[in-house]
Chains A and B, each alone.
Chain A
Amino acid sequence: MSAFSAVKILPSPPITARSTPKPSFPFVFSSPSSPTAGGIHRPAAAPLSSSPRPLRAVSSHVLSNEQRVASHSHQDEAEVTREEALDLYEDMVLGRSFEDMCAQMYYRGKMFGFVHLYNGQEAVSTGFIRLLQPGDSVVSTYRDHVHALSKGVPARAVMAELFGRTTGCCRGQGGSMHMFSAPHNLIGGFAFIGEGIPVATGVAFSSRYRHEVLEEASPSGGLDVTVAFFGDGTCNNGQFFECLNMAQLWKLPIVFVVENNLWAIGMSHLRATSDPVIWKKGPAFGMPGVHVDGMDVLKVRAVAKEAIERARRGEGPTLVECETYRFRGHSLADPDELRNPDEKAHYAARDPILALKKHIIEHDLANESDLKGIEKKIDDVIEDAVEFADASPLPPRSQLLENVFADPKGFGIGPDGKYRCEDPKFTEGTAQV
């Protein structure tokens, strides 16, 4: 059953120009997940959340009825077809193998700087991004390799970018934390916590603007949706709240996905947050807040489907909190000493890839050899990516000054009175900067 089954979604009004906001339909949100989703470090219910009904810190016209949603863990039936399941499996294996290879390459010195790996969180990326259409956008953080891969950026391009080669998706100028791919609508790659959220809101704004003001129809049949990924630490940042407000105010087609892995480098979410329940912060701004088990790709996918379709129809944003976990440290430089080994073991047992594998086998969607075939194929893809990246050239010297501006006259007028960019030797570095 759908994650929103508890929720009454009234027919949405036609997308009107935003003047003064007139909430003409009550807002909806689903109730928290069942206790079985709790990890070891989840609090014994803090005084506020232990009450049978969540705190109503919302304005009166927002609440409608409030029915308990049946626990997500009851979703047992196979909701996916064989093709979909194998696609999901392949995507998650690609993400995992790629990140493992990154770790190897880093320790061999081929990769450098800050590298943040996504091991363990694949269900969130795969669950959301595989549902998107080509015109939809993904905005991410520095932990963006797997978002890029799920969105369709070739593994070769990502690996070459990590190696700092000129064949990378950003020609080696962005690096691990700044993956951009305009053809795939992958916008970063933002190294600053919280920076991607307003940018994602702006991308969603442009989607609505193009639809209403420029009257361009999107091939998706509705609005192009933006999915913003960020972590639990970001949910304490001011920009997060500013954008929850504005996205809801202007009914922007965006899904805010919180990858709550409980840790921000070494800062536990519970030490940093007054009220650690994140999904509740959505209704405070008038949008639905949903909690989902982020280690189960099928559950994530079900929630994602609803949220994305809501946005596409023009009903506005959704806040989705995915409870997930990263198996490795914050980055490859993080010794990861503060996390309890029991906690790690608990989540390792809920490895999303193993869970999906089990599901596929149990529901007879495919057999072991099919899955092994996929794994082998991915291994080949990764090997090929590494070889390609290794063989690629470093950026030439002339690339240093390229692309600072779209209009290179921004470099100004040189001592000879002509625009610097008109000097053919300028980017070769032989001309004086």
Chain B
Amino acid sequence: MPFRKNVKQTNIYGLSISFVSSGRAPLLFLVLYSSLSCVLSLISRRMWGLARQRVGFGNFSSPILGQVLQRIRPLGSVLPKNYSTAAKEMTVREALNSALDEEMSADPKVFLMGEEVGEYQGAYKISKGLLEKYGPERVLDTPITEAGFAGIGVGAAYYGLRPVVEFMTFNFSMQAIDHIINSAAKTNYMSAGQISVPIVFRGPNGAAAGVGAQHSQCYAAWYAHVPGLKVLSPYSSEDARGLLKAAIRDPDPVVFLENELLYGESFPIPAEVLDSSFCLPIGKAKIERQGKHVTITAFSKMVGYALQAAEILSKEGIDAEIINLRSIRPLDKATINASVRKTNRLVTVEEGFPQHGVGAEICMSVIEDSFEYLDAPVERIAGADVPMPYAANLERMAVPQVDDIIRAAKRACYRSVPMAAAA
């Protein structure tokens, strides 16, 4: 078997590889099956000469399976989609659909409501098949009444039901923002814990393609400002599945910011993600790529751009560490600060408007907690401070691109020399 030979050559995989090649497969088959498929995928990546991922090699005391799985990092748009491996691939759309399906089947109190979620199968087909499976009482097509149906969801949540309220885009949530903030976020506090609100508000957030100013705003900073809310933003399919399940099971109001352009993107996922009890913790960021020269934080679509930037930067000798925030509120300041203490430089990337944005909060957190560790001023990249234009070239200029991330990272890395006159 070709893989055995390759396995023995590479000693970075250490213990797990010798285990695999030991021939005790029959007894440990079930345990090793997924590690096998993961190893296979890694090997094929090596064979295809793609950039290796240096990921947490840490200590080997954790369970083998967990170790091997830890090494799988969905590269998303970086990898070609057609490598032959046993790793399963799933689009973000399928991930969200399956998460909703499983949570609705596990708990009859979960129901979905929003515009076009039923007979239309979802404006972006996220809720495909759910109406047939669960019926019109649990998958409700609402009239165009964001304020009304968001409030109805909140009222239902007060009495222990677990609504998932879909906004066609989060721009429309502005018509319902009173309920998200005043009726949902603040109620557990105002009632001194008597009434909790286990509701999820979800939908696409941020810019799509050519949809104009009123359909393109990113609301992460708006909702993350409010105490009492949890705000999540997935990037990959694994994030989408795990975080949506966590959000639905959470007893507090959760704003779940998806991204329309990511719905169709396919990511490889390990087998454990497919398990119906798979859940990701809220408040923990994920290090998508380990690095040592600069920390780049991003969420949602920008994670893909940051990973691309990291590839290009690595060719120029800058090893970037990419953090996928996953959770905007609460922000995983511990992970971010630990990373900055290691790399000493920070670049934050977001799609939304710059003033009072997510990046501003991250930069401040790093300055508060890790100032002595910084070797360069913190950098933040955000969308242009203009309502989103329509023309395709202007739209490209209004949203951060891979080049912008690369430039900022380089600036952060070369700042240690005396600053020249403003460039």
Contacts from A to B (Cβ < 8 Å): 17-19, 137, 139, 170-174, 178, 180-182, 187, 189-192, 195, 197-207, 209-210, 212-214, 238-239, 242-243, 245-246, 249, 402-407, 409-417, 419
Contact B154 A199 (CB under 8 A): yes
Check if B333 is an interface residue, CB within 8 A of chain A. Answer: yes
**Complex-state Cα separation, A3 to B412, whole angstroms:** 76
- Please give the distance in Å from B156's CB to the nearest CB on chain A: 4
Contacts from B to A (Cβ < 8 Å): 108-109, 111, 135-138, 140, 142-143, 145, 147-161, 178-179, 182-183, 187-198, 227-228, 230, 250-252, 281-284, 327, 329-335, 337-338, 369
Chain A residues within 8 Å of B149, by CB? 198, 242, 246
Given contacts A198-B147, A404-B188, A206 and B161 within 8 Å (CB-CB): yes
Indicate which residue in B136, B154, B190 contacts A180 across the interface (CB closer than 8 Å): B190
14 CB < 8 A contacts A-B = A174-B191, A180-B192, A195-B151, A198-B150, A213-B111, A239-B148, A242-B148, A243-B152, A246-B149, A404-B188, A405-B252, A409-B330, A410-B252, A412-B332
Give how many A-B residue pairs fall within 8 Å (CB-CB): 191
**Complex-state Cα separation, A187 to B195, whole angstroms:** 9
**Complex-state Cα separation, A404 to B184, whole angstroms:** 11
**Most chain A CB inside 10 Å of its own CB: which residue of B159, B179, B194, B338:** B159
Given contacts A174-B190, A407-B251, A411-B330, A199 and B147 within 8 Å (CB-CB): no
Chain B residues within 8 Å of A171, by CB? 192
Chain B residues within 8 Å of A195, by CB? 151, 178-179, 182-183
Chain B residues within 8 Å of A407, by CB? 250-252
Indicate which residue in A189, A201, A242, A413 contacts B155 across the interface (CB closer than 8 Å): A201
Given contacts A173-B189, A192-B182, A412 and B156 within 8 Å (CB-CB): no
Given contacts A205-B155, A405-B251, 10 further A-B pairs with CB under 8 A are A180-B191, A201-B148, A201-B151, A203-B158, A205-B152, A405-B228, A406-B197, A409-B281, A414-B333, A417-B334
Residue ID in chain B nearest A417 by CB atoms: B334
Contact B190 A17 (CB under 8 A): no
**Complex-state Cα separation, A415 to B370, whole angstroms:** 10
Q: Which 4 A-B pairs have the closest CB atoms?
A: A202-B155, A198-B151, A412-B330, A242-B148
**Complex-state Cα separation, A182 to B195, whole angstroms:** 7
**Complex-state Cα separation, A180 to B188, whole angstroms:** 10
Given contacts A407-B252, A412-B331, A413-B332, A200 and B111 within 8 Å (CB-CB): no
- Please give the distance in Å from B408's CB to the nearest CB on chain A: 25
**Complex-state Cα separation, A206 to B161, whole angstroms:** 7
Contact A202 B154 (CB under 8 A): yes
Contact A199 B283 (CB under 8 A): no
**Complex-state Cα separation, A19 to B140, whole angstroms:** 9
**Most chain B CB inside 10 Å of its own CB: which residue of A172, A173, A245, A402:** A173
Contact B145 A245 (CB under 8 A): yes
Chain A residues within 8 Å of B338, by CB? 417
Contact A181 B183 (CB under 8 A): no
Given contacts A182-B191, A182-B194, A199-B183, A206 and B332 within 8 Å (CB-CB): no
- Please give the distance in Å from A252's CB to the nearest CB on chain B: 9
Contact B191 A206 (CB under 8 A): no
- Please give the distance in Å from A103's CB to the nearest CB on chain B: 24
Chain A residues within 8 Å of B152, by CB? 198-199, 201-202, 205, 243, 246
**Complex-state Cα separation, A49 to B211, whole angstroms:** 46
Given contacts A197-B151, A405-B188, A410 and B283 within 8 Å (CB-CB): yes
Chain B residues within 8 Å of A202, by CB? 151-158
Given contacts A195-B182, A201-B152, A209 and B332 within 8 Å (CB-CB): no
Contact A180 B195 (CB under 8 A): yes
**Complex-state Cα separation, A29 to B284, whole angstroms:** 56
Given contacts A195-B183, A214-B108, A406-B196, A206 and B156 within 8 Å (CB-CB): yes
Chain B residues within 8 Å of A214, by CB? 108-109
- Please give the distance in Å from B405's CB to the nearest CB on chain A: 26
Chain B residues within 8 Å of A18, by CB? 136-137, 140
**Most chain A CB inside 10 Å of its own CB: which residue of B108, B136, B153, B155:** B155
Chain B residues within 8 Å of A409, by CB? 281-283, 330
Residue ID in chain A nearest B194 by CB atoms: A182
Chain A residues within 8 Å of B284, by CB? 413
- Please give the distance in Å from B412's CB to the nearest CB on chain A: 22
Chain B residues within 8 Å of A416, by CB? 334
Given contacts A209-B111, A410-B230, A200 and B143 within 8 Å (CB-CB): no
